Amino acid sequence: MLERLKEIRLEAAERLEACKDEAELEALNVSVLGRSGALTEVLRAMGAMHKTKRAEVGQAANALKRELEEKIAAKRKALSLRLAELKLLKETLDITEPGRLLCKRGRLHPMTLAYREIRDALVGMGFIPFDGPEVELDEYCFTLLNIPPGHPARDVQDTFYINESVVLRPHTSPCQIRSLKQLEPPFRVVIPGRCFRVDEPDASHSPVFMQMEGLVVDRHITLSDLKGTLETFAHAVFGEDVKTRFRPSYFPFTEPSAEMDISCTICKGKGCRVCKGSGWLEILGSGVTNPHVIENCGLDPHEWSAFAFGLGVDRVASLKYGIPDIRLQYENDARFLSQF
């Protein structure tokens, strides 16, 4: 039996040394110390031994049992620490590893890019953002802007009517009325927003479009103030090399009125298909605010004067990025948008 105990010790030591995980260690524990284990069989066989021999074998067997229990416990602890170490190494973040692109980055819409350029240029000149509803009162869209019922300018707008007194705004100009009624002059506001008109979509028209409008209210406003502001704005958005010119025009809510052209951004004023060979592109409408509009909003036109201007954001985007068809900006084609 003593020889058998020596064999068990040597075999257990070899297996213990070779154990690589908890499962192998548990198998060793069961095969040696379990109910049917090798050492347990020795202890059961002691009953048939002589009393003197039984004491010697029992002492050696118990000593081996304690020894193996301690070694198995130590091995279990060592395996646990090694497992934790490997897990920590696996989960460690390597801050020197190059980043991985998990998905394609989104792109800003060309109208968003154009809008931000226009906004930043005007905010840099002291304008503050002002907003109004898309579903607007007929009174604010037309009557208070010096366009009474029956005025031919109402037909030009091709307005979507909700009912007799409520419309989808055909321009951002009703926000001029709201700002004149709500804000204390002097002030400068920039008004962005969607507008709606009954229109057949084509390369240059859309029933839904984005406008931005500016309004400056102060004492002693003149046409030269408007001209200087718009020239500065054009250079900020289209570059210092761009040229500007003003042409007389007519809007019911401004007097005098003017349209501003810029030298063609495609051909640099030499003449091309986009500018129809003229070298110039119409960019916005403007004018000194009609005194009747100021009076309609409860201000004294003898004390306060103003100028206003408005432009299409989609048109600016088309000119800046060479977009040939305005419909591309509203169709959300990923192939088109990915170019910006």
How do the domains of the chain map onto residue ranges?
A: 2-91, 110-337
Looking at residue 177, its pLDDT comes to: 96
Looking at residue 81, its pLDDT comes to: 87
Q: Where are the beta strands (DSSP E) in 140-279?
A: 160-161, 166-168, 187-196, 208-218, 244-251, 254-263
**Residue 53 confidence (pLDDT) above 80:** no
Cα gap 79→29, rounded to integer Å: 15
Looking at residue 63, its pLDDT comes to: 80
pLDDT band at 174 (very low <50, low <70, confident <90, very high): very high
- Let me know: does 136 contact 169? Beta carbons within 8 Å: yes
Read off the pLDDT of each residue in 183-202 and give the average, rounded to a whole number. Answer: 93
More confident residue, 275 or 110: 110
Using a pLDDT cut of 70, give the percent of the chain over it: 94
More confident residue, 230 or 40: 230
2-16, 64-78, 142-156, 301-315: range with highest mean pLDDT = 301-315
Q: Is 168 helix (H, G, I), strand (E, B) or coil?
A: strand
* 25-36 pLDDT tens trace: 788 777 777 777
pLDDT band at 1 (very low <50, low <70, confident <90, very high): low
Query: Which ranges in the chain belong to alpha helices (H)?
Result: 2-18, 22-33, 38-45, 51-91, 110-123, 138-141, 152-157, 174-182, 223-238, 291-296, 313-321, 334-337
DSSP 273-316: TTTTTSSEEEEEEEEEEPHHHHHHTT--TTT-EEEEEEEEHHHH
Read off the pLDDT of each residue in 252-274 and give the average, rounded to a whole number. Answer: 86
Cα gap 107→109, rounded to integer Å: 6
Mean pLDDT across the chain, nearest whole number?
87
Read off the pLDDT of each residue in 324-328 and give the average, rounded to a whole number. Answer: 88
Read off the pLDDT of each residue in 162-168 and give the average, rounded to a whole number. Answer: 92
Cα gap 113→49, rounded to integer Å: 97
CATH of domain 110-337: 3.30.930.10
Looking at residue 156, its pLDDT comes to: 66
The torsion angles phi and psi of 239, rounded to 5 degrees, stand at 110, 155
pLDDT band at 47 (very low <50, low <70, confident <90, very high): low
pLDDT band at 121 (very low <50, low <70, confident <90, very high): very high
**Residue 231 confidence (pLDDT) above 90:** yes
Looking at residue 92, its pLDDT comes to: 73
Read off the pLDDT of each residue in 155-167 and give the average, rounded to a whole number. Answer: 85
Looking at residue 94, its pLDDT comes to: 73
| CA neighbor of 305 nearest in space, from 257, 255, 259, 260 | 255
